[in-house]
Amino acid sequence: MANTFLLEIVTPYKKFLSTEVNTAAAPAFEGEIGILAGHTQYITILKPGEISYKKGAETRLIAAGKGYAEVGHTKTIIIVEAAEEAVDIDLAGAKETLAKCEEALITLSPEDPAYQPTVDEYELAQARIRVKEKFKG
């Protein structure tokens, strides 16, 4: 069995990534999932957060919106609303979005239709900040 698998990350706008990797991790709804070559096949819902993958000795991070992952033996496809590498993240913009979401969540109740989209935006802003800060060093 090979020790790599094809990881594809797709957004509504483009194929963000398509590369052979050794491992990957993503923020599933029930907790972080780890993926290796030859993994059992399944589909899972992803929440906004950090997707990481290791290719040889290099580990890369991506901030990603909600979506889902289709895990297979030789290929994993992750479809998310948004994806950004650290070099493309506007840290000031992410912090501004986080502050706006925090303010909005003070008054929103879970029954409000705007609640879940605001939580998703908040979690994505947090992921963008973490990815950018880890990239710095």
- 33-92 pLDDT, tens digit per residue, is 999 999 899 999 999 999 999 999 999 999 999 999 999 999 999 999 999 999 999 999
Rounded to an integer, the average pLDDT of 108-112 is: 95
Rounded to an integer, the average pLDDT of 12-37 is: 96
Query: Domain residues for 57?
Result: 5-85
Rounded to an integer, the average pLDDT of 94-114 is: 96
The secondary element (H helix, E strand) that includes residue 133 is: helix 115-136
Number of compact structural domains in the chain: 2
Rounded to an integer, the average pLDDT of 110-128 is: 97
Rounded to an integer, the average pLDDT of 1-19 is: 93
Q: Give the confidence band of 137 by pLDDT, cuts at 50, 70, 90.
A: low
Distance (Å) of CA 60 to CA 24, 51, 63, 68, 114: 9, 8, 10, 19, 32
Q: Would you tell me how many other CB atoms lie within 10 Å of the CB of residue 13?
A: 9
Q: Within this chain, do residues 76 and 98 fall inside the same structural domain, yes or no? A: no
The secondary element (H helix, E strand) that includes residue 80 is: strand 75-80
Mean pLDDT score of the chain, rounded to an integer? 95
Q: Within this chain, do residues 18 and 54 fall inside the same structural domain, yes or no? A: yes
Q: Within this chain, do residues 75 and 98 fall inside the same structural domain, yes or no? A: no
| pTM of the entire predicted model | 0.90
**pLDDT reported for residue 73:** 92
